[in-house]
Amino acid sequence: MLNAKLALASHSDHQTIVKLSEQVAFGGSELVIIGGPCTVESRLQMETVAQELQRAPVQALRGGVYKPRTSPYAFQGPGLEGLEILSAVRERYNIPVVTEVMSIAQIDSIVAHADMLQVGSRNMQNFDLLKALGQVEKPILLKRGLAATIEEFVMAAEYIMSHGNSQVVLCERGIRSFDNYTRNVLDLGAVVALKQLTHLPVIVDPSHAVGKRELVAPLARAAVACGADGLIIECHPEPEKSVSDARQALSLEDMVDLVQSLQPVAAAVGRQISQSLRVPQLAVAS
Ligand code: PEP
Ligand code: MN
């Protein structure tokens, strides 16, 4: 494997723990489940997600505010207004939030509002962005490029780490192949390989991998079975009305059921999902 120095496992039992908050960390025996919509659409939407997913429970919320859309005419995300929604919900529900960073210019405002910065697939080899994220004192969720090899993926993590930030979590989210029945092909072999090759936590995004909601839950269970340290899954109060990635969004009820269904799988591989219910600091959203 190339000349990675920092990301590779030097001895088999060392595992980096990436802390997301006082209560939540990737890479320990507890799995980290991140749920939420593809895009932040409104305060009410995010309040509903946070409220309902306490029952799952999930350990973190997701929601894009800067969206890498294939078409320049598609909604590009709510920007700063969305970041303010994320940080309000994070405060009210005492739950960490993850959101995507697409450019160096966005870093400071995202750092001020979120707990973890996601590098999307389309930016996995945006080396200037990776270098800049090396200077950030927040964990980075690095998604595998649309057609990146395992080696390229590890070297992208190496960029962030070699510039000073060792808090990197890898995310397998499917790779392009010839068959478009599923949006991508979920590469669980890569999850196993990355767990062996590196000391970094590895999570799986089955939503973008398959692109169809009815395929998400079985693959989420398979990911946990093969050693993933967590999951990031798209869900929405009204999935069909999602402004982006509607076809793969789970309902909040299905998300709660999915997380519950992970319990026996997690137990079978010596992992746990925190069952503690979070009490919101205030009553339901106004
Ligand atoms: C997303 O998480 O909404 C996203 C755009 O993911 P990816 O970069 O994996 O396509
Ligand atoms: Mn999405």
Average pLDDT over residues 214-242: 98
Higher pLDDT, 230 or 278: 230
pLDDT class of 283 with cuts at 50, 70, 90: very low
- Ligand 2 centroid–CA 202 distance in Å is 19
Run of H or E residues at 138: none
Q: Is 143 in the pocket of ligand 1 (CB under 6 A)?
A: yes
Nearest CA to ligand 1 atom 10: 121
Which pLDDT score is estimated for 286?
Answer: 45
- Ligand 1 centroid–CA 64 distance in Å is 9
Q: Is 38 in the pocket of ligand 1 (CB under 6 A)?
A: yes
- Ligand 1 centroid–CA 157 distance in Å is 17
pLDDT class of 3 with cuts at 50, 70, 90: confident
| Percent of the chain scoring above 90 in pLDDT | 93
- Within the chain, residue ranges assigned H as helices are 43-53, 80-93, 107-113, 127-133, 150-162, 188-197, 206-210, 216-225, 252-268
Average pLDDT over residues 149-159: 98
Which pLDDT score is estimated for 13?
Answer: 72
Q: Is 144 in the pocket of ligand 1 (CB under 6 A)?
A: no
pLDDT, the chain, mean? 95
The 10s digit of each residue's pLDDT in 53-86 is 999 999 999 999 999 999 999 999 999 999 999 9
- Ligand 2 centroid–CA 285 distance in Å is 25
Nearest CA to ligand 1 atom 4: 120
Q: Which of 38, 41, 232, 248 for mutating ligand 1's site (highest number of atoms within 8 Å of CB)?
A: 38
Boundaries of every domain in the chain: 18-273
Which residue is associated with the tokens 């939407």?
A: 45
Nearest CA to ligand 1 atom 9: 121
The 10s digit of each residue's pLDDT in 230-253 is 999 999 999 999 999 999 999 999
Q: Is 36 in the pocket of ligand 1 (CB under 6 A)?
A: no
Nearest CA to ligand 1 atom 1: 38
pTM of the model: 0.95
Which pLDDT score is estimated for 236?
Answer: 98
222, 128, 244: which is closest to 172 by C-alpha?
A: 222
Token reading at 276? 């503690």
Which pLDDT score is estimated for 278?
Answer: 53
Average pLDDT over residues 139-161: 98
Q: Which residues pair with 202 in a beta bridge?
A: 170
- Ligand 1 centroid–CA 89 distance in Å is 21
Superfamily of domain 18-273: Aldolase class I (3.20.20.70)
Which pLDDT score is estimated for 12?
Answer: 60
Ligand nearest the Cα of residue 249 is: 2
The 10s digit of each residue's pLDDT in 163-201 is 999 999 999 999 999 999 999 999 999 999 999 999 999
pLDDT at 24 > cutoff 90:
yes
- Ligand 1 centroid–CA 269 distance in Å is 28
pLDDT at 281 > cutoff 50:
no
Q: Is 236 in the pocket of ligand 1 (CB under 6 A)?
A: no
| Percent of the chain scoring above 70 in pLDDT | 95
Which pLDDT score is estimated for 130?
Answer: 98
Which pLDDT score is estimated for 277?
Answer: 54
20, 23, 17: which is closest to 278 by C-alpha?
A: 23
Report the alpha-carbon distance of residue 272 to residue 263 in Å, rounded: 7
